[in-house]
Amino acid sequence: MKKIKKIAFIGMGLINSSLVRDLKEKNFYQKSAAFSRTKKTRDTLKKLRIVDKVEDNYKNTVRDADIIVVGVPVEAFTKVIKSISCHLKPGAIVTDVGSVKKSLIKISEEVLPKQVDFVPGHPIAGTENSGPEAGFKGLFKGGYCIITPSSKTSKDSLEVVIKMWNLVGMKVDIMEADYHDMVLAITSHIPHIIAYSIVGTVANLEKSIKTEVIKYAASGFKDFTRIAASDPIMWRDIMLSNKSSILKMLKIFKNDLSKLEEAIKKQDSKFLLNLFSKTRKIRKRITK
Interface residue list for ligand NAP (CB under 6 A): 11-16, 36-38, 41, 71-74, 76, 79-80, 97-99, 122-123, 126, 130-131, 231, 234, 238
Q: What is the DSSP string of 11-57?
A: --SHHHHHHHHHHHHTT--SEEEEE-SSHHHHHHHHHHT-SSEEESS
Rounded CA-CA distance 67/91 in Å is: 9
Compare residues 79 and 259 and give the one whose CB is closer to ligand NAP: 79
**6/101 with CB nearer ligand NAP:** 101
User: Helices 269-287 and 243-265 sit at what angle, rounded to 10 degrees?
Assistant: 140
We find the least distance from the C-beta atom of residue 46 to ligand NAP, in angstroms, to be 13
Least Å from the CB of residue 79 to ligand NAP: 6
If the CB atoms of residues 71 and 149 are measured against ligand NAP, the closer one turns out to be: 71
Name which of 71 and 120 has its Cβ closer to ligand NAP: 71
Q: Which residues pair with 69 in a beta bridge?
A: 9, 95
Q: Tally DSSP H helices, then E strands, for the chain.
A: 12, 9
CB of 265 to ligand NAP, least distance (A): 37
Smaller CB separation from ligand NAP, 13 or 120: 13
Pairing outcome for strands 144-147 and 171-174: parallel
Do the Cβ atoms of 52 and 31 come closer than 8 Å? yes
Q: Least distance to ligand NAP from the beta carbon of 287, Å?
A: 19
d(CA 200, CA 116): 44
Which CB, 17 or 153, lies closer to ligand NAP?
17
Contact residues for 89 (Cβ-Cβ < 8 A; gap 6+): 63, 64, 65
